[in-house]
Amino acid sequence: MCHDSGQASIAIASIRTHRFRDVTLPLMSTTYAEYLALEEESSVRHEYLDGEICAMAGGSPDHAALAAALISAIRSQLPPGCRMFTSDLRVRIPATGLSTYADAAVVCGRTQRAADDALAVVNPLLLVEVTSPSTEEYDRNEKLRHYKNLPSLREVLFVSHREPHLTLHRREESGWSVSIAGQGGALTLASVAVRVEVGKVYRDDLEDCD
């Protein structure tokens, strides 16, 4: 589950899994209660799945700027009753057991909390991920598959760290559709009636793209 070899191994007594690059040596499964205790005390966020805890890598300046720009663009257009959340919001997917953090989220109405985690929401309408070199493959594939198991979720927006490019996954009656937009384009987030212009998100030049 620890998808990123650049993420730090967690050397804490209560955690029973060690990862060295792409090799995992399972020792003893960590309980969810132990994970919650770690999150309460740690300055670093972690993901949890199947008894394994993984530190989430910090983002680059570009990553932080893109997340801020996207949050600003969406929040200013949200209808009443919908709230924008930053990456501090923990999202729990009961169907798969994953607890994680998106770069941004929107919940309309009251937040619904996980039965085993009073600080984790289970009813986001929209989730946003800003990609990075170390997490892009995981975010666009495995993590997205977990997200799709949230009954409330209607859209997942990916913001590329490489170039001005947005990818929107939308739940339709027939399944999930994909829409993209590049420089000069825009996407409409139907779940919250918000239009996102690529040029406004990428107003400033990217410094860390590769």
User: From the CA atom positions of the chain, what is the Rg in Å?
Assistant: 17
61-201 has which fold? tt1808, chain A (3.90.1570)
Say whether pLDDT at 112 is over 90. yes
pLDDT bin (cut points 50, 70, 90) of residue 100 is: very high
Supply the pLDDT for residue 28. 60
Q: Give the whole-angstrom CA distance, residue 149 versus residue 189.
A: 19
Contact in structure between 206 and 129 (CB atoms under 8 Å):
no
pLDDT (mean) for 44-48: 95
pLDDT bin (cut points 50, 70, 90) of residue 2 is: low
Q: Residues 161-187: pLDDT tens digits?
A: 999 999 999 999 999 999 999 999 999
Supply the pLDDT for residue 155. 98
Chain-wide mean pLDDT for the chain? Answer: 88
Core vs surface per residue 9-35: b (16+ CB within 10 A) or e? ebeeeebbbebeeeeeeeeeebebebb
| This prediction's pTM | 0.87
Domain boundaries, the chain: 1-57, 61-201
Distant-in-sequence contacts of 142-150, Cβ < 8 A, 24+ apart: 142/3, 143/98, 143/100, 144/169, 146/93, 146/96, 146/98, 146/100, 147/93, 148/176, 149/93, 149/95, 149/96, 150/91, 150/93, 150/95, 150/122, 150/123, 150/124
On the CB side of 26, CA atoms within 13 Å amount to 9
Supply the pLDDT for residue 11. 36
| Assigned token pair, 13 | 């007594």
Region of residue 118 (left: phi > 0; alpha: psi -120 to 50; beta: else): alpha
